Amino acid sequence: MVGGGGGAEVIRLLAPAGTLAAGSVVTLDEDESRHLTVRRAEPGSEVQLLDGAGTRADGHLSRAGGAWSVTVGEVRREPPPVSVTLAVGAGDRDRFGTLVEQATQLGVTRIIPLLTEHTAGVSTRLREGHLDRLRRRGREALKQCGAAWAPEIADSRDLAAFLADLPPGARWLADPAGGSRPRLEATVPLTIAVGPEGGFTMAEQRALRDAGFLLVRLGRHLLRFETAALAALTAAWLSREENLNG
């Protein structure tokens, strides 16, 4: 759903997991204080705190000197969403960062960067040193979309390690030669595999199919890896909604 419309949007802020309790005072870190400056917030303003682990709380701002804090009011705990794991070839790091932000908005619960034969040839590829920044971007996206749970950004791994530790549930492999998206039960976990620039090799694709991945076509044309990943998440959401609505 696209935001907008009447009224001022509530300011959302991030808090460390486990710190939100009714009546407590949460001191904001430098990043969140800077966010308040950008938003031109004022003491007394109502805000919403998110810890990225399922807890959200309402509160009011106060400021002493240059330090901002929030007095916590009502606290609400949300159950974890149905698992959606997105395993994507660790291609260009900037495009992967954009993918993390947008996939968070679409409800992904876990993102696994895959090291494949074709990622090795990408000079700007995602590397281990970039993962902490990706995790921050995933949490930051909560302030825009309002989700209570931040996605887990797993350590990079090769395809064999990924296939050796697959979660249960449905499995989709994004491929232009695949079939239409299948029906997806609302409560069934889903794992989606998306290749990097150049796609998966034939051997990699065969290993995925042997592990139970179903080839799913996501559009009429060849998609970049980040576009394919977002298209797959959207298709999964639509399939679940169709099941819920009969």
Mean pLDDT, the chain, whole residue set:
92
Same domain, 112 and 48: no
- Domain CATH for 212: 3.40.1280.10
Same domain, 230 and 130: yes
What is the reported pLDDT for 203? 98
Same domain, 181 and 72: no
- Give pLDDT tens digits for 20-75: 999 999 999 999 999 898 889 999 999 999 999 999 999 999 998 878 999 999 99
CA pseudo-torsion sign 68, 17, 80, 224: positive
Same domain, 17 and 107: no
Q: Identify the domain containing residue 21 by its residue range.
A: 11-77
Q: Where are the alpha helices (DSSP H) in 146-190?
A: 159-164
Q: Is 179 exposed, middle or buried (0-12, 13-18, 19+ CB in 10 A)?
A: exposed
Note the pTM of the prediction, 2 decimals: 0.91
Q: Is 183 exposed, middle or buried (0-12, 13-18, 19+ CB in 10 A)?
A: exposed
Same domain, 26 and 99: no
Q: Which of 77, 97, 114 is the last residue of a domain?
A: 77
Q: Nearest Cα to 13, choosing from 153, 55, 5, 22? A: 55
Give how far Cα 132 sits from Cα of 42, 74, 139, 201, Å: 31, 31, 11, 29
123 pLDDT band, cuts 50/70/90, is confident
- Give pLDDT tens digits for 158-199: 999 999 999 999 999 999 989 888 889 889 999 999 999 889
Q: Which of 26, 57, 77 is the last residue of a domain?
A: 77
Q: How many domains does the chain have?
A: 2
pLDDT (average), residues 67-88: 96
> Can you tell me the distance from the alpha carbon of 81 to that of 182, in angstroms, rounded to the nearest whole number?
20
Same domain, 72 and 182: no
> Can you tell me the distance from the alpha carbon of 100 to that of 84, in angstroms, rounded to the nearest whole number?
13
Question: Is 210 domain-assigned?
Answer: yes
Same domain, 151 and 105: yes
